[in-house]
Amino acid sequence: MDDSQKPTPEEWSVIGHAPVDAGCLMLIDPCYLRDGLFAGNAQIESWYDDAVVDNAENTHWPVKHGDQRYGHIVSTGYGDGFYPIEARFNAEGLVTEVRIRFIEKD
């Protein structure tokens, strides 16, 4: 992308989409999935039940395994969908903010 195509720091740019089929989205560092949360863990379904099913009435909650926190889960409000992921960039082209709108403002 050349300088004429770079968004200004005030602009939001769609960088991808988040498919949701569980009515919620998990925000987590990918290395935790590989190295911590799921490494050698034969209890994935149990973890899913604890992390997602048991919290279905909440709007947000931490991703934990034992006492270790790995990330956060947020409800999408109305459920499943294909939600745009937007980002803002600084002058160097580095991501400064990310947002995912689940419900459009009135």
Q: Is residue 46 part of a domain?
A: yes
Q: Is residue 106 part of a domain?
A: no
* Distance, CA of 76 to CA of 21 (rounded, Å): 10
Q: Is residue 6 part of a domain?
A: no
Q: Is residue 62 part of a domain?
A: yes
Q: Is residue 7 part of a domain?
A: no
Q: Is residue 3 part of a domain?
A: no
Q: Is residue 89 part of a domain?
A: yes
Residues of the chain with pLDDT under 70: 1-6, 33-56, 65
- The pLDDT of residue 64 is 73
- The pLDDT of residue 58 is 74
- The pLDDT of residue 42 is 58
The domain total for the chain is: 1
Q: Is residue 105 part of a domain?
A: no
Answer for the pair 53, 24: CB distance below 8 angstroms, yes or no. Answer: no
Domain of 79, in residue numbers? 13-100
* Distance, CA of 30 to CA of 41 (rounded, Å): 16
* pTM, rounded to two decimals: 0.73
- The pLDDT of residue 13 is 94
